[in-house]
Structures are given as structure tokens and as C-alpha cells.
Amino acid sequence: MSENELMHISLAIPDPLRGSGRLFLWGDDDDLRQMSAIAQTCGLDLDAFTSDRCLAVHVSQDEIINFLSLLRRELRPASLQQTRALFKPGSGEPTLADFPRADTLVTFIMFARGKWLGELMSERRLLVHYQPIVEANQPDGVHAHEALARGRSREGELIDPLRMLSAASDAGLLAVFDSTVHELAVRGMADAHGGGRLFLNLSPRSTVDPNFQLEHVRRLCRLYRMPPEDLVFEITEREHVLDVDAVSRFFREAQDEGFGVALDDLGSGFSNLNLIHQLRPNIVKLDMELTRNIHQDEYKRVIAGKIIEASAQLDIDVIAEGVEQPEELEWLRSNGARFVQGYLVGRPDELPRDTQDLNR
């Protein structure tokens, strides 16, 4: 199908790196010392201070991504802003003409991480796995699937989804990433079973990003003959800098068009019960932190019990996540959690389970 071409990867992503070479970093002495220590922990060779206040680090394309993500994590924001960075392929020395091309380190990281992610997407190394969501009363049937992003390196190893999300965030590509995953997820579902209910993760920041638009999702629904009622957007609060008004506006718009909306990871470190009344989701997902050993922990039982009770009164469905033990499932089932998800009832898999006889 030629329509299957991904809609979002055509965005132009600048290319600051090609092949092996040296990354030149100009900054103050303290920052350079810290950067050379980080380069050493990565096992990279360096020409210390080739000229005044300049460090040259020998890197290949693969090594640079790891190095940059460490710099991003370890350096102070001011250092990222005041350090200048330039990559020269081979063994070339920077010339005067190169200086105007030197970016701030923070910009350089943004481009490089975006390029890494863009290549991952365009080389089809971004995949979706599907994890079943089942009725607690009927754990053998399938109610829906959650689409989970997975990546593969060129060598075929799995890449942690959090690494992809952090690259997407650094590069300002969260919404592009989310939309690409949605497209892969809907397509995979349609190819496998001609459809079925599907939960799609969405970063709260994507809801205000013009690169994410419900119009894209509507197009997917038309293309793959999927009714909007079969799609549910899950918003997580993990970023805990959530623009509640923006997410709420998005929830209303999505609900008006028939899509479902869910609050993900409720009960995790960052979550906040007020979001239930602020966002009025159709579904809440209890975080696995709350599920874990719930049958043995009175505090967890009371908190989860109250959330389940309040949800029932408000006509909100509850999905308990991360169910791994039969005792957890049993407690959740007998205390009114309608749906469960977790390794006990199904691990994420490349293919959705057969959903022919699902009951909606």
C-alpha cells in the first residue's frame, strides 16, 4: 500500500554529523574539565585544549549520541548554553570560516538527537508492540491493546523507549514521534485483525504542538477504517509539567469526536488526584506502583479502593496496570477494577492478540 508511507518522517532534519571525526567544544575551563571527564567515562579519545579553551573529542556517529546525552544530563543549563560545539569529519582542524557554524551545545544536541531519532524512524527501526487489556472477570478474552513504542539499533538490539522519548524531547520532536507511533500502531492493528480497540500514548506537550493534530488521526481512521470510538488517547503525567488547561481542551475536543481519553499512571510518583476532576477522562489507569503487591499492602488497598469507588460513581472505567501476580488480579477483580493489564495476562508482543470475539 503506497498510502502506508509514514506521514510524519518527511520533516527536514538537519545533519550536523556524518561519519567519524572530531567534536570541537569551546567553553570555560570548568565546563571543559567536566566535559573531558565525561568523554573519558565514555572511553573517547581527546586532544585536550588544542587551542585555548577548546577540547577536541574523537567520535564516531554512534558514540556521539551517547556522549551528547550524557552532556545533556550532566552539564548545568548555563554551561549547555555558553559552550559552542562544532563537528568536523575526519581529522580536519576548524578554520576561521567554521566559527560562524559553531552552535551552542544545546542547539547542537537538539539537532544531533533529532537526526538519530529521524534515522531510526525513516529506516523503519521504530516499531510498535501491543499489550492486551482484558476484563478482570474474563482474563482470557481481549478488550483492547495498548500500543507501546519500541526501537531497534542498526545492530538489531532493542532500544529503551525512554531513550527515544528523551531524544524526541531534546529535539523538539515529541509530537512527531507520538504521531508516527500512532500511525504504525493503527496500521499494524488494521493489518493484523482489520481493527480492534487501541490505546495510544500521547505526551501532554504534544496536545499543544502543531505537529500533532487530531486531523492526522481522523485521516488514519478513514484510511484504516477504524471508528474513532476504537481509539483511546492515554496522557501520562510523568513529565509533571502538565498544562492542565491545554490537556483539558484536547480531551474535550477528542471526546466530542468520539475518541476515548484516559489518564495514565494514576497513583505513580508524580500523579495527582485533582486531575480526575480537572480532565474528566473516560478511563483512568492505575499505575503499577499501586498494583504491585496490593493484596499485601493496606495503604495501597485503601487508596486504590477509593479511586475505584470514585470512578464508578463518575462513570469512569478503571484499568489496573502492571498486574503480575494472581493475588493482585484477584484483589482488583473482586474490588471492582473492570479492566487489567500486565505480564500475568499478556506481555507486549509484536502482534496484537486475536480480537475477533472481543466484547466492547
Summarize as ranges the residues that interact with ligand G (CB under 6 A). 131, 148, 161, 201, 236, 264-265, 288, 321-324, 342-343, 348
C-alpha cell belonging to residue 153: 539499533
Q: Max Cα separation, the chain?
A: 72
CB 171 within 8 A of CB 206: no
Q: How far is the CB of 130 from Mn ion (least distance, A)?
A: 12
Least distance to ligand G, CB of residue 9, Å: 23
Q: How far is the CB of 297 from ligand G (least distance, A)?
A: 17
Q: Between residues 25 and 232, which has the closer beta carbon with respect to Mn ion?
A: 232
Binding partner selected for residue 348 from Mn ion, ligand G, none, CB under the kind-specific 5 to 8 Å limit = ligand G
Nearest residue to ligand G on Cβ basis? 342
Q: What grid cell was written down for 162? A: 525512554
Residue 343 binds which entry of Mn ion, ligand G, none, CB below 5-8 Å type-dependent: ligand G
Identify the CA nearest to 208 among candidates 251, 237, 165. Answer: 251
- Report the distance separating Cα 294 and Cα 291, nearest Å: 5
> Which grid coordinates are listed for 80?
549547555
CA distance 332 to 324: 12
In the complex, minimum distance from the CB of residue 54 to ligand G, in angstroms, rounded to a whole number:
41
Determine which residue in the list 103, 230, 264, 317 makes contact with Mn ion, applying CB under 5 A: 264
Which of residues 103, 178, 234, 317 is near Mn ion by CB under 5 A? 234
3-class state of residue 332 by DSSP: helix
39 binds, among ligand G, Mn ion, none (CB under 5 to 8 A by kind): none
Is 161 or 336 the residue whose CB approaches ligand G more closely? 161
Count of positions on this chain that bind Mn ion (CB under 5 A):
3
Least Å from the CB of residue 133 to ligand G: 10
DSSP, residue by residue, 103-151: EEHHHHHHHHHHHHHHHHHHTT-EEEEEEEEEETTBTTS--EEEEEEEE
Binding site for Mn ion (CB under 5 A): 201, 234, 264
